[in-house]
Structure 1
C-alpha cells in the first residue's frame, strides 16, 4: 500500500518505520521539505519525500502526524 505521512516529527518518523517494516511504500510530506528529506535519509530506504499535494494524490492512505494547531494549514496545502 502507498501511504503518505504528513509530518516530519517523532510521530511521523515512528509511523514511517513501522509501516515500512510492514511492507508499505511510504512518502513523507511536510511544510518543511528540508526536515522531511533529513528524516527520510536518516530512516533509510523505502521512504520517499514529496509535496503535500503530490503525496496525497499518489497515496492509498494519508496519515496526519502534525500538531493539532498545524493541521488546518497542512490540509489546506493539499
Structure 2
C-alpha cells in the first residue's frame, strides 16, 4: 500500500509565508481586526500551528515591523 509522501517545509519559509499573509491582512483590515485564526485560515493551517512559529500575535507584529524597518534601511 502506497502512503503519501510528506515533504518537510523549511521553517524559515513557513515563517515568511505567515508574515506575508499577516502583513497583507494588517494593511487590508488592520492589526486589531486581524486574528491568528484569520492568518491560519488563509495558509490552510490551524492557529496552533501558527503559534509553533510565533509565540503570539504581538510577535508576528514585531517581525513585520522588523521587515519594514529593514526595507527602509535598504532604501535609505
Which bin holds the TM-score, normalised by the shorter protein?
Answer: 0.3 to 0.5
Greater relative CO, 1 or 2 (CA 8 Å, sep 6+):
1
Larger Rg: 2
